[in-house]
A = this chain, B = another copy of it.
């Protein structure tokens, strides 16, 4: 059996849940009066006053904060190792003066959780990844801090924590998106420390994109989650490309959630639109366009998770970045089965099946995507 590593799996540590419980605006946690599971309200579209507060957002259970539940989920689904990351919206909303404290607290907590689990899995400390479930983690960044120096310091500090293997980041950056030049010290620090950045969506698209709030909510979360999330990721990384981030930091390593949102599929159109843009110097204008092509960046800087739920997406991801840059993930604990959580999760088996269907009889590539790539790229051995 190949080693299976899940690089897209989230946690809300207990301290983070308590912080959300103390809030009354998005993001927040509400405990219903009926003793049912707490409600997590993290999307502004979920904070709809016309919905009773006990039904707002989504129910969350212990799978979101109890690491033992995640370990049981891993065991059930044949996952040997998980690289856990704080779930959205991370620390984006934290008061500037509290950002550093929260980043350190969360990241130290992640380190302790991983260390404790791995020690229990392997008391003799002769780490053998395919024996018991083990954990590594990606850190959270204090992006709302008063200065980017605080972010840079935390990136450097993470290298001293033995189980930290990268950082997770949303699309807002320091508040103005990822093409904001004031992020350059952050990109520099990520590049200098050879730290993988996991880019993950949270904010989606404005309701008007879906025909207004009525149209958006008519189909529950389908439009914001199925289309808004992947587009948010695509827009963010395209703005990075267009503003020259990959020209200035050619060794940045970015893992894109959900197989790149839609980047592999749209890369050709992005490339063509850049080549036909009159505003860029290459098109006769006066704005410096990107110097490196999206194709080059996809094969040099970008890694893609395999959380795309089907063969067409994986085919595009493989053609754009190569199967050696594709990494298995689950998005746990999101998308649980709606009936019972006892059996296998369809959201997981769909992705397993898609990997097998795409790479067919090439068992070596299947093994690479399921775990070999992650072990190599994140140095998990």
A residues contacting B by CB (< 8 A) are 58, 176-177, 179, 205-206, 208-211, 215, 218-223, 225-227, 230-231, 234-235, 238-239, 242-243, 258-259, 262, 264-280, 283-285, 287, 289, 295, 308-313, 315-320, 335-336, 338, 346-347, 350, 354
Contacts and interface: CB of A to CB of B under 8 A. Distances in A.
A283 B315 contact: no
A258 B268 CA distance: 11
Contact of A215 (B177, B262, B273, B275): B177
A346 to B, nearest CB: 7
A236 to B, nearest CB: 9
A271 B308 CA distance: 10
B270 A227 contact: yes
Number of this chain's copies in the assembly equals 2
Counting from the closest, the 10 A-B pairs by CB-CB distance are A268-B310, A268-B309, A220-B279, A265-B265, A312-B319, A316-B316, A226-B273, A312-B316, A315-B315, A312-B320
Given A226-B266, A227-B234, 5 more contacts: A179-B211, A205-B231, A218-B242, A220-B280, A227-B235
Nearest to A298: B312
A interface: dominant SS? helix
A213 B227 CA distance: 21
B209 A308 contact: no
B215 A179 contact: yes
Contacts of A58: 278
A247 to B, nearest CB: 14
Contacts of A242: 218-219, 222-223
B209 A277 contact: no
Given A319-B315, A335-B272, A287 B235 contact: no
A347 B272 CA distance: 7
B235 A338 contact: no
Contacts of A208: 206, 208
A265 B320 CA distance: 12
A258 B265 CA distance: 10
